[in-house]
Structure 1
Amino acid sequence: MEHRELGNSGVEVSEIGFGAWVVGTDWWGDRSDEQAVGMVEEALDAGVTYVDTGDVYGHGDSEEIIGKAIDGRRDEVTLSTKIGYDFYDNPQAGHGELPKELNREYLTEAFEASLDRLDTDYVDVLQLHNANVDEVTPEVRDLLREWKESGRVRALGWALGPSIGWLAEGDAAVEYEEFDAVQTVFNLFEQEPGRHFVETIRDSGPDTSVIARVPHSSGLLNEQVTPDTVLEDGDHRSHRPKEWYETGWEKVDAIRFLEDPDHADGTRTMAQAAIRWLLAHDEVASVTPTFRDGDDIAEWSAAADVPPISEAEYDRLEGLYARNFDIDRDDGMDVLRTSVDGEDIEAAGLDKRAASY
């Protein structure tokens, strides 16, 4: 497993990370706390040492599980958590988004609670969880700097979401000197705004890195959702329209050449190729797939060892993406979310309509 630095922070993360949302909720299947701890330990043994959790995942459950899993191994782990959602005073309704609090008093209390659950006195990376650009005030930035200067936080990030978009927020993360990372949905099929952030960082200098989540496009690129898959109502992927999956399967067929690279010995699975494509961008520090079991951990962590994407393959993918993979139907999901009435999307010249938050 190779490692990359987050911006210029000095904090190194494994190229493939563990997205600990999976062990804090039942959105990706039920498992006991013992099984969840075992998954994290298995990932660490495979070299996946960047662990990305958040206080809202299971309302603290994920952090407690991670705290147990890394007990005695804290020095092996680059530990990240997120704060900003007020789940203490608000019940969770399905997959709905909770209210956010980003004032100094709330963030301080939330951070202390996270440290207690993780059983540590510092985190390597602290991320603001889906904060809107107008919520990250000078007061908030001052607080983050204080934590960083005190050593309780080694690097800072801004996690975008919950859906795809929030370009103004990502641009602010790249612009503000406090932030070392911006986390966003980024994959072969959903390249914006991740591509925009990569290009901005490339132009402005490597002070910020991208952490890519949903690298497998919600089950398409790891082929865990196929034409024969029946998604249950509680499955988090069921919000995708039928058209999105139908066009997605055609896109997967169009990139089958990635499984049998012609420039090097060896093969890759589609899931491994999707990760390697993201890591072809120097600006991407870590990719955090959603490991559901030991088989996923074994296959996806091994992506570090399969042939990288060649220049010829990359160029071929660029052409396919520019032509919408030669598909002339709408996928039903061409909306980038925005907190600034689409001004960020329009200014970037992206060809997708914007939906206000």
Structure 2
Amino acid sequence: MKYRRFGKTNFNASEVSLGTWQLGSKWGDPFSEDDAQKTLEAAWDNGVNFFDTADVYQDGESQRALAKFIKGKGDKVFVSTKVGRRLDPHVAEGYNEKNLTKFVEDCLTNLDVDALDNVLLHCPPTPVFYEPEVFFTMDKLKKEGKIKNYGVSVEKVEEAMKALDYDISSVEIIYNMFRLRPADNFFRMAKEHDVGIIARVPLASGLLSGKYTMNTTFGKNDHRMTNRHGEEFDAGETFSGVDYATGVKAAQELDAKLGAGDKLAQMALRYILMSDAVSTVIPGASKPEQIEKNVAAADLPAFTHEQMGIVRDIYDKYMKNPVQYKW
């Protein structure tokens, strides 16, 4: 495993880390504490030291599983947690000092720590980015010692750019071979502000695994079935906002032109790491056997100029309209 400095936090994060949306369960399935711990240990054994979670993942079970796992590891491990999506309705007005303080204190309890390594506002509505009091509240929580760093998880590039006006340490943003726009200007701006970048949804909800076909089925509670048009949350979260049929076709063409064989998912992760602005990429895993395949991506050869061009050409052909203009 290789490591990269996570912006102004100065933590050296594993290039390939672990997103825990699926920890201990696939979307909508019952949570398994045993699977969760085995997955976390497999990640640690393979050099992963950065873990991304949220207070809503498995209704807090993800955080509580991490609490057991990180015990005794001290500053060798870094946990980034998100808050805000417990709001119902999820509206800008909910991002107030009372709610944010309560969310942070609940995370402290769930993770069983004295201070949170990093807290991200969890894809708040766009107006939140124009409410400085929200960010001043985070500054206050940092001054009080409840959090060490904070930042934002975003849906849109413009939100990420606006967040740089505040004293943030990191931005979590969707970036993958089907979502290229963050690299156009935002990555340069983030580097100028010494802000770490967490690349999320790196496999476009599995499309970039190369395993999906038009006959692939998903569980009844799986967002890949229920949120294709933004019925539950931003449509860009599911398949990176790409129409499923278009995504399948584009992935198949990528596979063929890159000669990926059974390594398209690993190549997709390696592509993300081609940008030195990216601090870490966070593929998910619900089983320990998935970890080794994910982390092996960091050891793949760098993309050639020709391969980079192939990715851009397929993006321009299949994704640019409408993805480039919506997110």
Which category describes the TM-score, using the shorter chain as reference length? 0.7 to 0.9
Q: How many Å separate the matches in 2 of 1:148 and 1:11?
A: 17
Q: Any conservation in 2 of the 1:132–1:169 contact (CA below 8 Å)?
A: no
Does residue 1:78 correspond to 2:78, yes or no? yes
What residue is the counterpart of 1:128 in the other structure?
Answer: 121
Letter in 1 for 2:245: E
What residue is the counterpart of 1:209 in the other structure?
Answer: 196
Does residue 1:117 correspond to 2:110, yes or no? yes
Q: How many Å separate the matches in 2 of 1:316 and 1:301?
A: 24
Cα deviation, residue 31, structure 1: 4.2
Cα deviation, residue 59, structure 1: 2.5
Q: Which runs of 4+ in 1 moved over 6 A?
A: none
Cα-to-partner distance string for 1:193-214 (whole Å, 9 max, x where unaligned): 5644225436xx1522321111
| RMSD, matched Cα | 2.8
Cα deviation, residue 99, structure 1: 5.2
Change (3 A) 1:305 1:26: closer
What residue is the counterpart of 1:56 in the other structure?
Answer: 56
Cα deviation, residue 29, structure 1: 4.1
Which of 219, 230, 240 is the matching residue for 2:228?
240
What residue is the counterpart of 2:15 in the other structure?
Answer: 15
Change (3 A) 1:206 1:282: farther
Change (3 A) 1:106 1:236: same
Q: How many Å separate the matches in 2 of 1:151 and 1:271?
A: 39
What residue is the counterpart of 1:299 in the other structure?
Answer: 293
Cα deviation, residue 17, structure 1: 1.6
Which of 168, 173, 190 is the matching residue for 1:184?
173
Give the stretch that moved more between structures: 188-197 or 72-81. Answer: 188-197
Letter in 2 for 1:62: S
Cα deviation, residue 15, structure 1: 1.2
Q: Any conservation in 1 of the 2:197–2:278 contact (CA below 8 Å)?
A: yes
Give the stretch that moved more between structures: 18-27 or 43-52. Answer: 18-27
Letter in 2 for 1:172: K
Does residue 1:226 correspond to 2:213, yes or no? yes
What residue is the counterpart of 1:68 in the other structure?
Answer: 68
Give 3-state SS (helix, strand or coil) of 2:7's partner. Answer: coil
Letter in 2 for 1:289: P
Change (3 A) 1:195 1:28: farther
What residue is the counterpart of 1:174 in the other structure?
Answer: 164
Which is higher, the Rg of structure 1 or of structure 2? 1
Cα deviation, residue 74, structure 1: 3.7
Give 3-state SS (helix, strand or coil) of 2:218's partner. Answer: coil
Cα deviation, residue 55, structure 1: 0.9
What residue is the counterpart of 2:95 in the other structure?
Answer: 102
What residue is the counterpart of 2:235 in the other structure?
Answer: none
Structure with the larger helix share:
2
Cα deviation, residue 143, structure 1: 2.5
Q: How many Å separate the matches in 1 of 2:84 and 2:95?
A: 6
Structure 1 residue runs without a partner (length 5+): 91-96, 261-266, 336-349
Q: How many Å separate the matches in 2 of 1:83 and 1:130?
A: 9
What residue is the counterpart of 1:278 in the other structure?
Answer: 272
The two structures have a TM-score, normalised by structure 1, of 0.78
What residue is the counterpart of 1:340 in the other structure?
Answer: none
Cα deviation, residue 111, structure 1: 0.8
Cα deviation, residue 102, structure 1: 1.4
Cα-to-partner distance string for 1:253-289 (whole Å, 9 max, x where unaligned): 32234345xxxxxx98111100111111111111111
Identity of aligned residues (%): 30
Change (3 A) 1:295 1:6: same
Cα deviation, residue 297, structure 1: 0.6
Letter in 1 for 2:64: E
Cα-to-partner distance string for 1:202-240 (whole Å, 9 max, x where unaligned): 6xx152232111111111111342334122322211133
Q: How many Å separate the matches in 2 of 1:71 and 1:174?
A: 33
Letter in 1 for 2:159: E
Cα deviation, residue 18, structure 1: 1.0
Q: How many Å separate the matches in 2 of 1:194 and 1:184?
A: 11
Give 3-state SS (helix, strand or coil) of 1:79's partner. Answer: strand
The two structures have a TM-score, normalised by structure 2, of 0.84
